Chains A and B, each alone.
Chain A
Amino acid sequence: MTSLMNWLPIMLLGVPLAGAVALIVPSRPDGAAGGRSLRVHGLAVSGITFALSVVLAVAFDYGDAARVQFETDMAWIPGLDLRFHLGVDGISLPLVVLTALLTFLCFVYLSWGKADGPGQLLRPAPAGTRPRALVFTLLVLEVGMIGTFLALDLLLFFVFFEIVLIPMYFVIAIWGGRARRTAAIKFILYTLLGSVVLLLGLLLIWAQTGTLDVIALARAQGTGMSRSVQIIAFVAVGIGLAVKTPMWPLHTWLPDAHTEAPTVGSVLLAGVLLKMGTYGFARIAIPVLPDGAAAVAPWLGAFAVVGIIYGALACLAQRDLKRMIAYSSIGHMGFVLLGFATLTPVGVNAALFGNIAHGLITGLLFFVAGAVKERYGTADMPALGGGMLSRLPHLGSLLTFACIASLGLPGLAGFWGEMLALLGAFEPAPGLSRPLFLTFMAVGGIGAVLTAAYFLVMLSRVTHGRPVDTVHVPALAGSGPAEEAVAADYGTLPLTGTSGAGAGGSADEDDSGRRDGQPGPRAAGDAAGFRDVMRHELVAWTPLVGLILLFGLWPKALLLVTDPVVRTLVGAP
C-alpha cells in the first residue's frame, strides 16, 4: 500500500505528461468527432490528475505534516548530482492540489457541454484556434507546475521551474489578445533573466555545501556557508524568485502578460505560476539560507510594502479590467512577501495562506473578467458602462463576490492572509528591527484600505448604475471587424480574429447590430448573444466559490497543514 502511494507524485507528473505525449501521435483531428475526443481527452487527463491529487491529500498523514511523505528518490544525472527527488509535505500539498484543481477547472471551462460558448477555445469551428495544441500546451504546463511543488532537489526544482516558460509563452503568444507577441516575449525574457540568476544562486549553494538535497539543506540551517555567501546566495535566489512572484520593481512583465493572455492563461498564470515564486521562498530561500534571509528580510519587507501601495495606486489608475486585476496581484503578492519577510511562524503561515487564497480568488476573478471581456468584446471599464448587475445579474454578482473576497472581507479567504501578514509584521522575528516592521505594518494597512477602495470604485463603475450603452456602441460594434482590419494592416499580427478575442468580437457584432435598432437602456435578457453565466462557466467557478467560503470561514483547515512545517523551517519551537 505504502509503496503504491509512493508512486503518487510520479503519477501526478506522469499522467499529464502521458496525456500530452499522446497528443503528438498524428491523427486526423479536424472533425467534429476529433474535436469531441480532444475535449474528452483534456478533461479526462486533467480530471485524473486532480483525482490523484485528492487521493494524495486524503492519504497524507496530517499528524506528521512536517515530514516529507510519498518520497521518491532516484539518481537521474549523477554527473550533476541531480536526483529525481520528489515528495510532499504540509507546504507543498495545498499547492499541488490547487494546481491540479485549477488546471482541471480550466479544462472544464474550455470543454464542458458543446464547447461553443464564450471563452471555450476548444470550440470545433474556425481554423486557427488549434485546440490540439492548446490541450498539449496546458498539459505540459501542468507537468511543470506540479513538478515545481513536488521537487526536493535544487536543480530538479529549477528544471521544473523552467518547464513552464515555453508553454506559457505559447499560450500568450498564440491564443492571446491584440498585443500578445510583445507581451509574450516580455514575459519570457523577464522570467528567464530571473531564472538564470536563480540558477546562479542555487549553484552557489551547491558549490558551498556540496549537496542539492533540499531537505538536508534545510536541516543544516545554513551550516557550511558563511554569512556573506548566504547573503549573496539569498539575493540571487531571491531575485530569481521575485521576478516570478512578482515583487515590485521586477513586476513589469506581469500586467501585459495577464492582459493579453487568454482567460485560461491568466487563471493559471495568476493562480499557479506566481505561487511558484513564493513557494521558492518558503521551500528554498528562507530555510536553506537563514542568515541571508535575516540580513535581507528588511529589504524584502520594504519592497513588499512598496509593492502593496504601488499595486493599489496603479489599480486606481487602470481602465482595463484585466489589467487592474493583474496589478491587484502585485499588491496581494506584496502581502505574501511581507509575511515571509517577518520570518516568524505567523508571518510565513500568513504568506502560505495568502498564496492559496490568492490562487483561488484571482483565479475566479480572471475567469469572471474573461467572461466579461468575451461578452462585451472589451475589458475597458468606461466602455463596459456599468449596470452589469441589472443586465447580467449572475455574472455581476460573481464579479462582486470575487472582488469582495479579493479586497479581504472577513469571512472570505482573502482576509486571513492579509490580516496574519500584518500581525506577523507587528512582531517580527528577533533580530529584525521592530520599529521598521511596525512601519511596514502601518503602510501595509494603508495598502489594504486602498485595495478596498479600488475594488469598490471598480464595482461601482461596472456593476452598479444604469446600463447605458449608447455612448460606447460604436466601440463595441467595431470591435470585431476593426480588429480584423488592424490585423490585416499589420502583417505582423496574422489571425488575430481567430483567437479568443476575435471570436468574442464576432458574437458582439450580432448583438450590437441588434442593439443599434433599439438604443437606450435594456433589460437583461433581451439580447440572445448577451447571455448571463452559462453552464460551463458555472461548473468551473462553483468549486472556487465554495473553497473561498470554506477557507474564509475555517482558516484552520489550511493553517493546520502548513503550521508544523513552517515551525521547523523557521526554526521556531
Chain B
Amino acid sequence: MIQQIDYYAIAPPLILALTAGLVLLLDAFLPRRPYARPVLDAVTLAGVFGSLGFVVSQALRDGPPIQTFCVPEGLAGPARAGLGALTPAGGGIVAGRPLGAVAGPSCSFAVDGFTLIFAGLALVAGAVVVLLSMTELSSKDIPVGEWYFLLLCVLVGAVTLPAARDLIMLVVALELVSLPVFALTALRRYDGRGSEAAVKLFLVSVVSTAVMLFGVSLLYGMTGTVYLDRLAQALREAPRALDGPGMDPVSTDGGAMETIARIGDQWSSVPEYTSLQLVYDLPPVIPVAVVLVIAGFAFKVAAVPFHAWAADVYQGAPLPVAALLSVISKAAGFAGLILVLVAALHSQIATWAPIIAIVAALTMTAGNLLALRQRNAVRLLAWSSVAQSGYILAPLGVETPEAVGASITYLVFYAAMNLGAFTVVMLVSRRRERGELDDYRGLVFRNPAAGLALAFFLICLAGLPPGLAGLFAKIVVFREIVDGGGAWLAIVMAVNTVIGLYYYVAWAARIFTPVRAAADGTAAADGTAAREADPAAAGESGTGAVPGVGGARGGWLPVGAAIVLTGVVALAFSVAPQLVLDLVPAFFTASR
C-alpha cells in the first residue's frame, strides 16, 4: 500500500526540518567571518516565520481538518492481544464491526484547532527564543550552527507533537522535543553548572520516557492499536462487549474499579466463558497504564512529585534554553498529556481525573512554597512555572472533558507572560550575571521600558489588574473547576494564588525601589558594583562589557524586540482575552 502524504499538512514541521539542515550546512561552509552569525540568525528566524506562515494559512482555511498518514479502515490492528482477546465467544464482533476498528480511516497526523493553537504557540515562542538566542550567542562562547540546529529540532518536535494522533508518533515527537534540549543546555563550553543541568535533565527525561513507554506499551498490548481514536473506541467498547449489547454505555464510565468488579462478577457468574484468567488479569492493567503515562508526562511538565529538577536545570541552562523549557517543552508536554488523556483515555476519566487533581494541587502548592524562598530570578521563575503547571493541570482534574479548553487557554496566557518575564531577565542578565533578585532594584529608573514591562509580566503572572491577562486566565480556570464541582481544588488554588502573589509582588516592588541605598552598601565592599551602577545610568542598553567571540554589537536589539513582542501580546491578551478564547478548540479530530 502506498500512503498519500499531504505535504500542505506537514509543511510547518517540514520547513523547520529543512531549515535545520540548511543551518547546519551553512555553518559548515560559511567562512568564519563576523557576518556568518547574523546570516544564521536570519535563516533560523526566517524558517520559524515561514513555518508560522503555513500554520496561519492552515488556520485561516475553511473546511474539515486535514489528515494525513492514514491507514484505511480495513487495516485494523490485530485483534489478538489484550482486550481483543476479551471479546465474548461470539467472535469479536460488536455492533457489526470488529473491535478496535473505527468507521473510516485512522490517521497519524491531523491538523485541527488543537494542533494549530499548539503549533502556533510553539512557533511564536520559538521566535522569541531565537531572538533571545541572538543575544546569548553574541556574547557567549557557544557554537552557533549547532545551537540553531538543535533549537529548530526542538521546534520540529513541538510542532509535530500536537498533530500526532498515534502513540508512536507522539512518543517520537516528544523525544524530539526533549533530546536536543540536553545538548542545548550543555552547549556552553567549560560551564560546570550547564553540564550539571544537562546531566540532571537527561537522567530525569530518560527515566520519564522509559516510564511512559512502559505505559504506552501496556496500552498497545491491551488494545492492539496505537491510533488514539481506535484506542479510545477499544477502551470504550471493551466493557460493553463483556456486559453485552444491552448494557447502558454511560454506566461503564463509572470508574475502573467498578468496571473491574462488574466484570469479575459477570465472569464468575457466567460459567460458559473459558478464559477466566485473562479477564481477571487484564482490566486492572488499564489503570496501571494510565498512571504510568501520567507519570511520564508529569516529568515533562515538572509536576509534583517529579518537579525537583526544575530549578537546577533552569538556572544551569543558558537563559534562552530556560525560556524554551518553561514554555515550549512545557506546552509540548501538556499537548501530549491532553491528547493521551482526552483523546485516547477519555473513557477512563474516572481513573485519571482524581489523580490529576491531586497532582495539580500538590504541584501548585509545592511550586509556590519553593518559589517563596528564592533569591535568584531564574530559580524563582523556575518554581513559579512549576506552580503555573499546577494551574494548567487543575481543569483536567475535574471530570468534565470540556475543561480541557481552560487548560489550553491558561497555557497560552502563561506562555506570553512567562516568556515576557524571561526576555527582561535576559536583558538584565547581560549586565548582571548573577541574576539575583536584588539586581532588579531600581530597574525602572535605569531602564523604564524594561522595568515597566517586567513589572507588568510579573503582575500578570500573579493574576492581578493591570495584568488582566493573568486575571482572566485564572478566572477561566476557576470557572471550570467550580463548574465541575472541584470545590476543594478551587480553594487550594485560591490559597495558592495568594502565596504566588507574595513573591511576584516582592519582585515587582524591587523594580520600583531606588537603588541608591543598596548600591552604596555594596560599592564599598565590591568595586565592580559601582562600576556596574555607573554606566547603568545609560540604561541596560549599552554595549555589553562581556568579552565574547561575536562581540556585543547590537546584542540588546533582539532582546528589545522580544520584550516588545511579548509585551504587545500580553497587553493584547489583557485588553481582549477573547482573542485566545476564540482560538481554543472545542474538540479534537481524533476524539470523534
> A interface vs B, CB < 8 Å?
24, 26, 76-80, 128, 133, 140, 144, 155, 159, 162-163, 165-166, 169-170, 173-174, 181, 184-185, 188-189, 192-193, 196-197, 199-200, 203-204, 206-207, 487-488, 491, 493-495
Residue ID in chain A nearest B584 by CB atoms = A79
Decide yes or no whether B501 CB sits under 8 A from chain A.
yes
**What secondary structure prevails in chain B residues at the interface with A?**
helix
Decide yes or no whether B517 CB sits under 8 A from chain A.
yes
With a cutoff of 8 Å between Cβ atoms, the chain B residues found around residue A78 in the complex are 578, 581
10 closest Cβ contacts across the A-B interface?
Answer: A79-B581, A494-B517, A196-B494, A163-B465, A203-B482, A193-B498, A207-B483, A162-B465, A77-B578, A196-B497
A203 with B478: CB separation less than 8 A: yes
Interface residues in B, total, Cβ within 8 A: 38
A196 with B498: CB separation less than 8 A: yes
Task: Give Cα distance in the complex from A163 to B468, angstroms.
Answer: 9
Task: Give Cα distance in the complex from A488 to B479, angstroms.
Answer: 48
A246 to chain B, nearest CB (A): 16
A77 with B482: CB separation less than 8 A: no
B501 with A192: CB separation less than 8 A: yes
- Given A155-B475, A166-B464, A185-B506, also A77-B577 (CB < 8 A): yes
- Given A159-B465, A199-B475, A200-B491, also A189-B516 (CB < 8 A): no
8 A–B pairs (Cβ distance < 8 Å), ordered by A: A77-B578, A79-B578, A79-B582, A80-B475, A80-B476, A162-B471, A185-B502, A207-B482
Residue ID in chain A nearest B468 by CB atoms = A159
Task: Give Cα distance in the complex from A166 to B509, angstroms.
Answer: 10
Contact of A192 among B464, B475, B479 (CB under 8 A): B464
Question: Which residues 168-219 in B have Cβ within 8 Å of A in the complex?
Answer: none
Question: Which residues 484-498 in B have Cβ within 8 Å of A in the complex?
Answer: 490-491, 494-495, 497-498
Known: A78-B578, A80-B476, A163-B466. 4 other contacts (CB 8 A): A188-B501, A189-B501, A200-B494, A204-B482
A189 to chain B, nearest CB (A): 6
A80 with B479: CB separation less than 8 A: yes
B497 with A80: CB separation less than 8 A: no
With a cutoff of 8 Å between Cβ atoms, the chain A residues found around residue B497 in the complex are 192, 196
**Which of A26, A193, A487, A488 has the largest count of B CB atoms less than 10 A from its CB?**
A193
0/1 interface trace, chain B 576-591, chain A, CB 8 Å (1 if under): 1110011000000000
Count of A-B contacts with CB under 8 A? 101
B459 with A494: CB separation less than 8 A: no
Task: Give Cα distance in the complex from A128 to B517, angstroms.
Answer: 12
Task: Give Cα distance in the complex from A502 to B479, angstroms.
Answer: 47
With a cutoff of 8 Å between Cβ atoms, the chain A residues found around residue B505 in the complex are 166, 169, 185, 188
Task: Give Cα distance in the complex from A165 to B491, angstroms.
Answer: 21
With a cutoff of 8 Å between Cβ atoms, the chain A residues found around residue B578 in the complex are 76-79
Decide yes or no whether B109 CB sits under 8 A from chain A.
no
Task: Give Cα distance in the complex from A220 to B483, angstroms.
Answer: 21
A80 with B468: CB separation less than 8 A: no
B150 to chain A, nearest CB (A): 37
B514 with A128: CB separation less than 8 A: yes
Decide yes or no whether B513 CB sits under 8 A from chain A.
yes
With a cutoff of 8 Å between Cβ atoms, the chain B residues found around residue A162 in the complex are 464-465, 471
Decide yes or no whether B507 CB sits under 8 A from chain A.
no
Residue ID in chain B nearest A78 by CB atoms = B578
- Given A78-B578, A79-B578, A494-B516, also A200-B482 (CB < 8 A): yes
B512 with A174: CB separation less than 8 A: yes
Question: Which residues 567-583 in B have Cβ within 8 Å of A in the complex?
Answer: 576-578, 581-582
With a cutoff of 8 Å between Cβ atoms, the chain B residues found around residue A159 in the complex are 465, 468, 471
Residue ID in chain A nearest B581 by CB atoms = A79
